[in-house]
Amino acid sequence: MKTIILRTASNYLLPVLLLFSIFILLRGHYLPGGGFVGGLIAAIAFVFHSFANGLKNTKSLLRFHPGFLMPAGLALSFFSGLSPIIFAGDPFMTGLWYHGHVPVLGSVGSALFFDMGVYLVVVGVTLTIIFTISEAP
Partner 1 sequence: MISAILLGFLFAILLVFAGKFFKGKFAVLSSLIPLGLFVYFLQFIPEIMEGNVVKESYNWVPSFGVNLGFTLDGLSLLFCLMITGIGFLVFAYTSVYLHHHKYLDRFYGYLSVFMAAMLGLVLSDNVISLFTFWELTSISSFFLIGFNNTQEASRKSALTALGITGLGGMFLLAGVIVLGNITGTFSIAEMLNMSPELIKGHEYYTVAVILLFGAAFTKSAQFPFHFWLPGAMKAPTPVSTYLHSATMVKAGIYLVMRFTPVLGGEEIWNTTLIVVGAVTMLYSAFHSLFRTDLKGVLAYSTISALGILMFLIGMGTTESFTAAAVFIIVHALYKATLFLTTGIIDHQTGTRDVTVLSGLRKVLMPVGIAAIIAAISSAGIPPTIGFLGKELTYEATMHAPIIATLLVVGIVITKILLLWAGFVAGIKPFQGSLPESLKDTKMPGPFMWVPPILLAVLSLVFGIMPFIIEGSLIKPVVSALGGESGEIHLALWHGFNTVFILSLVTIAVGTTLYFVLKPSAKLETAVGKLEAASPKSLMEKFNVGFTYLSSFWTRVFQNGYLRNYVFIIIFFLIGMVGYTMIGNTKFNIDPSILSNVSFYELVVFIIMCIAILFTVFTSSRLSAVVAMGVVGLTICLVFVFYSAPDLAMTQFSIDTLTVILFVLVLYRLPRYLKIQDHKMRIRDGILSLMFGGLIAVLALEVLSEPVNTEIGDFYAENSYIMAHGKNVVNVILVDFRGADTMIEISVLTIAAIGVFGLLKLRLKRTDRVQ
Partner 2 sequence: MEILLAILVGLLYASGIYMILRRSLVKLIIGIILLGNGANLLIFLLGRITKGLPPIIPENSKVFLEAYADPVPQALILTAIVISFGLQSFAIILVKRAHKVVRTDDLDEMNATDEDS
Q: Give residues in contact with partner 1 (CB under 8 A).
A: 24, 28-37, 40-41, 43-44, 47, 67, 70-71, 73-74, 77-78, 81, 92-93, 95, 97, 106-107, 109, 111, 114-115, 117-118, 121-122, 124-126, 128-130, 132-136
Q: Which residues pair with 97 in a beta bridge?
A: 109
Pairing of strands 97-102, 106-109: antiparallel
Total count of residues recorded for the chain: 137
Per CB under 8 A, the list member of 36, 51, 79, 113 interacting with partner 2 is 36
Residue whose C-alpha is closest to residue 72's, from 115, 112, 117, 40? 117
Pick the stretch among 47-55, 59-67, 70-78, 124-132 that binds partner 2 (CB under 8 A): 124-132
Query: Within 10 A of 108 (CB to CB), how many other CB atoms are there?
Result: 16
Closest approach of partner 1 to the CB of residue 71, in Å: 8
